[in-house]
């Protein structure tokens, strides 16, 4: 009953289909036929039972020709079943199910024909990533791979759930190395090497007025983000009340405890009515920034996190630029990366007031995006927090200190600057 087939895999159907079928249809047909085969096998088993029964009955005395009829009938149907099974088997073979002849000729859809593994499992779709390219991976291998993927994700996003892993060990070592510093203004370079997270945050709070800093454990931040109001109908008084209620680690002198610092995973920098920046630390409690994102202070929702994107174009642009700045800070000097990043983020408090250092305007039509944007680029290449004087606080835009930080529109920014 073998029909002539063209070279490419075209499954046979009862009526010959002239055109090639789409891969999902082939797979569906193959699954269908496997189901058919299973039903035929079940019928055969049943038939065998009936044959045995008929034989048993004939062994009894006082029987008519009934068992003979039964036997003949069952024999005929069994032969038919076997015949059908053979033809289904041939169809499956031809479409590459029972052997691997067509596995290499996988189509661009990434779908493989279902494969019957040695242990009897039917693999319907070969998900390459899960099965490492082998359609015949057994259940054990699949489970092992899935567990590994899960453990990696868990270690990455929920490190505080790990007990006694190496990360924790190196963290506590670096903390012991840090000397409790007293003098602030005199030893700039030494300090930047040995600063702990709490020192960085507290000095930032002192130097930048107008800035509110809040720290969170990772899951606490998710709760806070979801509860942020999405419209600014509240007065600033209500907003500060909310912060008192929800934030778990507020940095006020005297209230900081070492345990709390070790759990800090998210830093929130809020310039009221201007922007909110979220920085995530990895590992928890370290001074290694992982990602940063900017948002409007009126935005709220679970998408507000260090890898999220604002709904507003201006903050999306800044976030994209910030990702590059972060990589640059990490690449130049990883120990001071957080310090530099935080101060660089603070330079954006003038985002809606500081004109472009090249064209002198605040708004410019960005040709590519066809949008009016303020100067969203602030250079980071030569940005060194060490140049910022620690004795003078970075104050409002009216002071000349801010002239150190320049700002550019997307279109006005060029590498030479």
Partner 1 sequence: MPLKWVLHWQPNAGSTVNSQILSEVSQCVESINGVKEGRWRATLTFYKPHTREPTQASEFPRDFLGISLPEQPNKYYLIIRGQRIVLEADSSIQTLMEKLQSYKTRVALYFDGFQYQLGDFQLRVGKVVPTHSENLRGIVMEVEYLPISSMEKGRQVMEEFVDIWQEALSKRSLPGHFVHIEPNFADYGLADSYSSQHSAVQYATVMAQLIATVQAVQSMRS
Where on the chain is the footprint of partner 1 (CB under 8 A)? 231-236, 273-274, 296-298, 310, 312-315, 352-353, 361-363, 365, 369-374
Do 387 and 404 contact (CB within 8 A), yes or no?
yes
Pick the closer one to partner 1 by CB: 8 or 237: 237
Here the tokens at position 315 are 């903050």
The DSSP output letter for 47 is H
Q: What's the CA angle centered on 274, arms 278 and 337, to 5 degrees? A: 35
Pick the closer one to partner 1 by CB: 315 or 383: 315
Q: How far is the CB of 273 from partner 1 (least distance, A)?
A: 4
Q: How far is the CB of 227 from partner 1 (least distance, A)?
A: 18
3-state secondary structure of 20: coil
Q: How far is the CB of 232 from partner 1 (least distance, A)?
A: 4
Pick the closer one to partner 1 by CB: 21 or 298: 298
Q: How far apart are CA 170 and CA 247, in angstroms?
A: 28
Do 293 and 322 contact (CB within 8 A), yes or no?
yes
Do 207 and 394 contact (CB within 8 A), yes or no?
yes
Pick the closer one to partner 1 by CB: 140 or 370: 370
Q: How far is the CB of 237 from partner 1 (least distance, A)?
A: 10
Q: How far apart are CA 342 and CA 320, in angstroms?
A: 16
Pick the closer one to partner 1 by CB: 267 or 351: 351
Q: Where are the alpha helices (H) located in 117-187, listed in sequence order?
A: 128-131, 139-157, 166-177
Pick the closer one to partner 1 by CB: 38 or 372: 372
CA distances from 144 to 123, 139, 169, 380, 383 (A): 17, 9, 27, 44, 46
Q: How far apart are CA 319 and CA 93, in angstroms?
A: 55
Q: How far is the CB of 321 from partner 1 (least distance, A)?
A: 16
Q: How far is the CB of 296 from partner 1 (least distance, A)?
A: 4
HSE (side-chain half, CA atoms, 13 Å) at 160:
18
Pick the closer one to partner 1 by CB: 138 or 353: 353
Pick the closer one to partner 1 by CB: 89 or 297: 297
The whole-angstrom distance between residue 32's C-alpha and the CA centroid of its chain comes to 36
Do 385 and 343 contact (CB within 8 A), yes or no?
yes
Instruction: Name 373's bridge partners.
Output: 364
Pick the closer one to partner 1 by CB: 113 or 270: 270
Q: How far is the CB of 326 from partner 1 (least distance, A)?
A: 22
Q: How far is the CB of 318 from partner 1 (least distance, A)?
A: 11
Q: How far is the CB of 313 from partner 1 (least distance, A)?
A: 5
Q: Which residue has the tokens 């405890």?
A: 257
Instruction: Name 371's bridge partners.
Output: 366
């Amino acid at each position: 009953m073998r029909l002539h087939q063209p070279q490419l895999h075209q499954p046979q159907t009862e009526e010959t289909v002239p055109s090639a079928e789409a891969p999902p249809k082939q797979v569906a047909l193959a699954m269908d036929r496997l189901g058919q085969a299973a039903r035929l096998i079940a019928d055969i088993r049943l038939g065998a039972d009936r044959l045995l029964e008929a034989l048993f009955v004939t062994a009894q005395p006082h029987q008519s020709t009934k068992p003979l009829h039964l036997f003949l009938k069952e024999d005929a149907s069994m032969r038919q079943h076997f015949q059908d099974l053979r033809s289904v088997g041939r169809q499956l073979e031809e479409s590459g199910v029972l052997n691997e002849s067509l596995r290499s000729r996988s189509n661009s859809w990434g779908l493989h024909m279902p494969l019957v593994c040695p242990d009897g499992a039917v693999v319907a779709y070969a998900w390459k990533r899960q099965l490492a390219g082998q359609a015949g991976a057994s259940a054990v291998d699949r489970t092992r791979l899935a567990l590994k993927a899960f453990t990696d994700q868990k270690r990455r996003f929920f490190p505080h759930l790990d007990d006694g892993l190496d990360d924790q060990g190196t963290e506590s070592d670096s903390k012991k190395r840090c000397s409790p510093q007293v003098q602030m203004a005199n030893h700039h370079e030494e300090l930047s090497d040995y600063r702990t997270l709490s020192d960085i945050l507290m000095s930032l709070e002192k130097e930048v007025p107008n800035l509110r800093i809040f720290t969170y454990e990772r899951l606490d931040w998710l709760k806070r983000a979801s509860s942020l109001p999405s419209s600014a109908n509240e007065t600033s008084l209500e907003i500060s009340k909310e912060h008192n209620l929800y934030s778990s680690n507020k940095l006020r002198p005297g209230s900081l405890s070492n345990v709390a610092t070790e759990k800090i995973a998210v830093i929130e920098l809020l310039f009221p009515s201007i922007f909110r920046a979220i920085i995530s630390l990895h590992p928890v409690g370290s001074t290694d920034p992982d990602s940063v994102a900017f948002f409007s202070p009126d935005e709220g929702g679970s998408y507000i996190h260090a890898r999220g994107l604002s709904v507003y174009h201006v903050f999306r642009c800044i976030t994209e630029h910030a990702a590059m700045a972060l990589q640059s800070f990490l690449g130049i000097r990883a120990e001071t990366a957080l310090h530099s990043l935080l101060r660089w983020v603070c330079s954006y408090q003038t985002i809606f007031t500081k004109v472009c250092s090249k064209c002198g305007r605040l708004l410019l039509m960005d040709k590519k995006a066809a949008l009016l944007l303020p100067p969203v680029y602030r250079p980071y290449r030569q940005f060194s927090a060490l140049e910022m004087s620690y004795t003078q606080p970075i104050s409002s835009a009216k002071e000349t200190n801010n002239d150190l930080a320049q700002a550019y529109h997307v279109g006005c920014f060029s590498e030479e600057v």
